[in-house]
Amino acid sequence: MECRRLGRTDVQVAEIGFGAWGIGKGWWGKADDTLSVRALVRALELGVSFIDTAYAYGDGHSERLIAKAFKEVRHRVFVATKVPPKSADWPPKPGTTARQAFPADWIITHTEQSLQHLQAERLDLQQFHIWRDEWLGEPEWQEAVHRLKRQGKVQFFGVSIMDHQPGSALELVKSGLVDTIQVIYNIFDQSPEEALFPLCRAQDVGVIARVPFDEGGLTGRLSPDTTFPRDSFQGFYFREGRLQETCERVDRLKPLLEGEIKTVAQLALKFCLSHPAVSTVIPGMRRPEHVEANCSASDGEPLGSEPLAALRAHAWPRNFYQ
């Protein structure tokens, strides 16, 4: 497993991280906890040293499973978690203030609860789960973050940007107040390359590339006949004609599979890793076999300029989260 520097944190993290939304169950849907812990343990065995979770992933369930996996392997790795917004609006409505979304007592209480779930004394990285650049001028959240850092409860601070809105945190990155940014980046949504990534490189802000498989579409394992459990997140995301269109677009990627790159999933991860701004990419995984397949994407070279140029034509701007 190759490692990369997580921006100004100066911490070396595995370039393939573990996305821990799915194992938290909640909105994502059902998961088998025993299998999820086995997937986490396998990832740790294979050198994955970065895990992305959140309080909201099953109200701490994902965080608790991570603590369980650490006990099994008897070592801990870098964990990034997130504070949910008190305003409970995803994305935040225009006019929502930082004080409504992230009041100081809310940030502090949730940080302390995440510490308990993770059985840790310090969070490596605490992130806000949503962000609006209008919140930069409000001091209360900044004071709360400073206090948590001073108390040693949080080491680094970052923000997870709203879906498909990489332009919504440019002022924050310029401000120097964040160590990391988490953003959707995949073959279909290449928009962070325009302004966000150059700025993150200039400001030495670590980039966590999320949703590399477009919620499963870019694994190449879905077909128009795939059915999802009732009330599952993927059932919502791929509703109506969306699954059919996704599969058609994924089929058009298959002529690009050549040499070491044999699957669409490998191509999708290699695409993310080929941008120099990316510190780590965090595929969501609930099975050891997916962990093994995804970790192997760290082998070999990044994509060359020719396949990257060809992939540009596959960008597909839209928002299936709505």
Report the interface residues with ligand NAP, using CB under 6 A.
19-22, 52, 129, 160, 182, 210-216, 219, 221, 265, 282-287, 290, 293-294
Residues in the chain: 322
Q: Residue 315 Cβ, how far from ligand NAP at the closest point, in Å? A: 16
- The C-alpha angle with vertex 170 and arms to 218 and 217, in degrees rounded to 5, equals 10
Q: Residue 233 Cβ, how far from ligand NAP at the closest point, in Å? A: 8
Cα-Cα-Cα-Cα dihedral of 261, 11, 85, 196, to 10°? -60
Taking the C-alpha atoms of residue 21 and residue 80, their distance in angstroms, rounded to an integer, is: 12
Q: Residue 173 Cβ, how far from ligand NAP at the closest point, in Å? A: 16
Q: Residue 220 Cβ, how far from ligand NAP at the closest point, in Å? A: 8
Whose Cβ is closer to ligand NAP: residue 70's or residue 213's? 213
Whose Cβ is closer to ligand NAP: residue 110's or residue 290's? 290
What does the block give as tokens for 90? 């995803």
Whose Cβ is closer to ligand NAP: residue 9's or residue 53's? 53
Q: Residue 319 Cβ, how far from ligand NAP at the closest point, in Å? A: 13
Taking the C-alpha atoms of residue 282 and residue 105, their distance in angstroms, rounded to an integer, is: 30
The answer to whether residues 197 and 207 touch, using CB atoms and an 8 Å cutoff, is: yes
State the alpha helices, DSSP H only, in 128-195: 139-150, 170-175
Taking the C-alpha atoms of residue 48 and residue 40, their distance in angstroms, rounded to an integer, is: 9
Q: Residue 241 Cβ, how far from ligand NAP at the closest point, in Å? A: 20
Whose Cβ is closer to ligand NAP: residue 122's or residue 221's? 221
Beta strands in 84-238 (DSSP E): 123-128, 154-160, 180-184, 206-210
End-to-end CA, the chain: 36
Whose Cβ is closer to ligand NAP: residue 7's or residue 212's? 212
Whose Cβ is closer to ligand NAP: residue 144's or residue 159's? 159
